Amino acid sequence: MFDKILTFFGAGKVALVCTLALAVWWFCVGWTVNGWRYEALLNAQQTGYETALKDAQKAAVDALESARKVEAAGETLAQQQLALEASNQQLAKERDHALRQITTGRACLDGGVVRLLNDRSASHGNGLSAPAAGLAGAFAAAAYDSGEPEAGFAATDTDVALWAGNAIERYDLCRGRVDALRNFFEQQEPRK
């Protein structure tokens, strides 16, 4: 039968057809093998994407949980600081009342000293023309505006005691805030 085909078509044509058939067969085999290879690569990429997605979701959940913990710690510290400040304000009122009871109101610093202490332009050279407001600042400003810096507006021992108490209160308030911030950041986990 093969002899009849060779004689009918000729040996060259048969060889050409066989070569073409073999080429088509190798192309189909190559296409199939390459498909398997790309399918395996696609599955590996899909698995990699799924793993990366799960890792990203876990990281996002962990970050959200960490942020919630930080926020809760911040809220707790803020509430504690507010309670401490309210307590300090009440203590300051009681202290001021007690200071007014035990001080005599006698002149402690004369008007010139009060004016000099309140005149920030003299100490900082910033060109202010009137004394800055402070404890007894209204008195010093009135004396300064009247053109009589020694007009007799002295700070009493009560004024000085209240000023000292106010300075202590402000220092304690600032120290408490700094301590609260330090505690807040010490409670946080170190960043990686």
Evaluate if residue 134 carries a pLDDT over 90. no
Tokens representing 55 are 């890792």
Strands 155-156 and 107-109: antiparallel
Q: What is the pLDDT of residue 105?
A: 83
pLDDT score for 145:
47
Q: Report which of 74, 146, 73, 67 is spatially closest to residue 111, judged by C-alpha positions.
A: 146
**Structure confidence at residue 144 (pLDDT):** 47
More confident residue, 125 or 121: 121
| E strands present in the chain | 107-109, 155-156
Can you tell me the distance from the alpha carbon of 190 to that of 192, in angstroms, rounded to the nearest whole number? 6
Summarised one tens digit per residue, pLDDT across range 38-86 is 999 999 999 999 999 999 999 999 999 988 988 898 898 889 888 988 9
Q: Is the pLDDT of residue 123 over 60?
A: no
* Stated pTM of the model: 0.49
Domain ranges of the chain: 2-110+154-187
What are the C-alpha distances in Å from 165 to residues 61, 90, 106, 117, 136?
A: 49, 13, 18, 17, 15
- Give the pLDDT confidence score for residue 55 in this predicted structure: 95
Q: Using one digit for the tens of pLDDT, what is the confidence trace for 7-36?
A: 767 777 778 888 999 999 999 999 999 889
Lowest mean pLDDT among 49-58, 78-87, 97-106, 145-154: 145-154
